[in-house]
Amino acid sequence: MEDKKVNARSANEKVISPAVIKRLPRYYRYLGDLLKNDVVRISSKELSQKMNVTASQIRQDLNNFGGFGQQGYGYNVEFLYNEMGKILGLDKTNNVIILGAGNLGQALANNQEFEENSFKIIGLFDVNPRLVGMTVRGVEVYDIDMLEDFLSKHEVRIAALTLPRSKAPKIARELVELGVKAFWNFAPVDLNLPEDVIVENVHLSESIMTLSYRIHSINE
């Protein structure tokens, strides 16, 4: 089952295709690199050469949100970077909890880039008593039985699931009932959730299988 379709809407309620949405973080990352290198402005042609996306595609993508470019000038890098951050919701703090405090959950909690991009991990949860009470980069691991109480005191819309296949669906349903609206799902299972709940699947085993297919198909 594919990830649920996510519709982003601009001010005029135009539906943005999932393919465009997938490219937005790449634009944000490349524009951030340009800013670090003190680049003030860039044309769609120059940006296309860096991103390996056609200049026409870049213009079409950005026109979904208003364009942002000026004829004969191109794009102001800082302005476009800031606007892209707003489109992605990075101008607001996004509280995140992690379900599963094993190796993968701890690795996510240790990633400083999330906080730099406005994703604040405020709690990890696990059933293992040996993990409960420890901290990862200052974030406490709670007993999973404390979920309801924790969510009643903190506004959380995003949950990362690094749980076994057998546990993830039940926990996800419970989280939806507690108000969570989006899931970053690392569990190797598809989640059957209400249509208004957003799921972004990151199935690591499927990804490496795809890589295996591609390398073997080239060499055969």
User: Which residues sit in the known binding site?
Assistant: 100-105
Which CATH number is 8-87's, of 3.40.50.300, 1.10.10.10, 3.40.50.720, 3.30.750.210? 1.10.10.10
As given in the structure block, the two tokens for residue 100 are 């599963």
CA-CA-CA-CA torsion sign (154, 156, 160, 166): positive
Q: What is the pTM of this model?
A: 0.84
CATH top-level class for 94-206?
alpha beta
* Contact (CB, 8 A) for 121 and 109: yes
Mean pLDDT by 10 residues, the chain (220 residues): 44 74 93 95 91 91 83 86 93 95 96 91 97 96 96 96 95 96 96 95 92 84
Q: Which residues are annotated as a binding site for NAD(+)?
A: 100-105
Q: Enumerate the domain spans of the chain.
A: 8-87, 94-206
What does the pLDDT read at residue 13?
A: 55
Contacts of 83 (CB under 8 A, 6+ apart): 65, 66, 68
